[in-house]
Structure 1
């Protein structure tokens, strides 16, 4: 698996090539769809370590573009972010993450044609989901508030005794030939989405 410096995420030609690879792997020629799917993975990787640290009450390393590497999958997606600096209790990782996200989202929007607000919404849902994975919805809300700027605060809903992110973003996977909407997609009718999530909560 190849690794590239974090700053690479802002390079238009590199982004276009990775988004094209993602589209090929999913069977779509639409840069908007492929770019949105690609960004869902990148956003998740960017916030995962910090959300986990916040949930566990530990110091979090600052995800500054020049201080992390990205592991790139064969389909062009980002597998994980490797922060090169050690956590520092005196730093403000939320502010650093805001700067990194703002620096990357603009070029991603240009390369894909996806809207900037929709890319920020994907980040909000990623923050919520990674915080839930780490066991604390409150940590997701706290991190999002510290990031601030254009980032919405993730919302949560209790269904069937389980907490889910009440999503505000769509990954557009249902626009890929042969694919369906995600169970939690905000574009589903509310009653249908709640019934499917309740079934999922019961099964798990």
Structure 2
């Protein structure tokens, strides 16, 4: 695992190491790739335009609005997975504001990792910083792509809901993760919502999404199971099938 940014408090490296296991597949978000960049690139229109173009090439799609949405769908989860897990397990969180971060990319241009140089010691402080961070990134991404800011805020909200639920499950208390998500969202982030689906012998909680990643537009495929563009009955049926898989 790579070292924290210069000037980071000594305990931050240990705090990152402690959440590697509960992060599961998102453990990559705390381990940088070979090229480490200042987090300020997340608000740089030229850098973001390059990410939108990378995504368009990946999906062979030429609408920058769709491509920006796809990139942000992934990036917004990568940005909050570690902070929410750390906040749930230890009561502190890395500052998510771009000027406190270093970041690195995956080979496909999607965000790989984000590490901070500062610790925030309360849910209130983190919630404020998270809102500021999203505002800065979303404004620039909307500018270069034409994506609607409200749609990008909705994606950010659903990413918080999903990663907090994952953190709760890893800690053995999904309800606590959901409560954390509710505690950290502030307008213009949208309220997070969940739905419990009772399957054969088990009840599983899902994010009741208010956002669409638009992958079905880029691929001419089917909508995601929890896509809000499905009818409520169709969405419930798809989520029910997932409780059995």
> Shift of the alpha carbon at 1:179?
2.9
**1:39-93 CA deviation, whole Å, 9 max, x = no partner?**
01111112112221233253112112221111112222101211233x3426811
Structure 2 counterpart SS, 1:148: coil
1:177 to 194, 197, 219: 219
1:83 aligns with 2:116: yes
SS in 1 for 2:127: helix
Counterpart residue number, 1:165: 207
For structure 1, list consecutive stretches of 5 or more residues without a partner in the other structure: none
The number of aligned residues is: 202
Separation in structure 1 between the aligned mates of residue 185 and residue 137 of structure 2, nearest angstrom:
15
- Aligned partner of residue 92 in structure 1, secondary structure: helix
- 1:66 is aligned, of 76, 84, 99, to 99
* Partner Cα separation in structure 2 for residue 186 and residue 53 of structure 1: 29
Counterpart CA distance in 1 for 2:40 and 2:236 is 40
- Unpaired segments of 5 or more residues in structure 2? 1-32, 169-173
Match 1:155 to one of 174, 177, 193: 193
| Deviation digits for residues 101-127 of structure 1 (CA, Å, limit 9, x no counterpart) | 111100101111110000000011001
- 1:142-172 deviation digits (Å, cap 9, x = unpaired): 4454441201111000002000000000000
Partners of 2:166 and 2:177 within 8 A in 1: no
TM-score using structure 2 length: 0.77
1:44 and 2:80 matched: no
Q: Is the CA contact (8 Å cut-off) linking 1:127 and 1:144 kept in structure 2?
A: no
Deviation of 1:140 (Å) = 4.2
Tell me whether 1:139 sits opposite 2:172 in the alignment. no
- CA 1:133–1:142 in structure 2 vs 1: closer, same or farther (change >3 Å)? closer
TM-score, scaled to structure 1: 0.92
Which position in structure 1 is the counterpart of 2:229? 187
Over aligned residues, Cα RMSD in angstroms?
Answer: 1.7
Please give the alpha-carbon distance, in whole angstroms, between the structure 2 residues aligned to 1:200 and 1:100.
33
Matches of 2:58 and 2:44, distance apart in 1? 21
Correspondence for 2:8: none
Rg bigger for which structure? 2
